Amino acid sequence: MGFFKRLFDGGESDSFSNHDAISEEYYNLTAEEALQEHGSKMILLEPRAYSEAQQIADYLRDRNTVVVNLKRVTPEQAKRIIDFLGGAIYSIQGEIQKIGGGIFLCTPNNINVQGKITDDTEGKGIHDNDDINVEW
């Protein structure tokens, strides 16, 4: 709630006061400067409820890449999560890209993603390969 209050009426919010200096430092950089000066993590998440969307947005705000698997939530919750993340990603000038069935790659503006993963499973030479498991 504090985020929206601050966004729309300019009021201060305790939850963002710690990140004001960080935001100024990070988001006034070009993408190239951010890549050179700041490291980041890739975080894999499987939310089980819409309430976890804010945590995902927090990771993005802190300039981490997040892969979100929405297969453990209902279709209605998945749509709400993507809507919420779309707004968060817009505000930080990031990107969101579907990389599989219910799996999305969310990146802040310090990450350059090249290429796209197609969702076309019909056609010549396209195989499902859902039976492949990788365990280390």
Note the pLDDT tens digit of each residue in 20-78: 555 556 566 666 665 555 557 899 999 999 999 999 999 999 999 999 999 999 999 99
Beta-strand relationship, 42-45 and 103-107: unpaired
pTM of the complete model: 0.65
Pick 69 or 17 by higher pLDDT: 69
Considering Cα of 110, then 134, then 103, then 16, what sign does the dihedral take? negative
CB 92 within 8 A of CB 66: no
- Residue 43 belongs to some domain of the structure: yes
In total, how many domains does the chain have? 1
- The CATH number linked to 100 is 3.30.110.150
Q: Which of 56, 100, 107, 99 is nearest to 77 (CA)?
A: 56
Domain presence at residue 80 = yes
* Residue 112 forms part of a structural domain: no
Res 29: pLDDT: 66
The predicted structure's pLDDT at residue 119: 66
Question: Does 9 fall in a domain?
Answer: no
Q: Is the pLDDT higher at 114 or at 127?
A: 114
Identify whether 11 is part of a domain.
no
pLDDT for residue 4 is more than 90: no
Give percent above pLDDT 90 in the chain. 48
When the pLDDT of each residue in the chain is averaged and rounded to a whole number, the result is 78
Q: Is pLDDT of 5 > 60?
A: no
What is the rounded distance in angstroms from the CA atom of residue 131 to the CA atom of residue 98? 20
Instruction: List the domain range (segments joined by +) for residue 71.
Output: 25-107
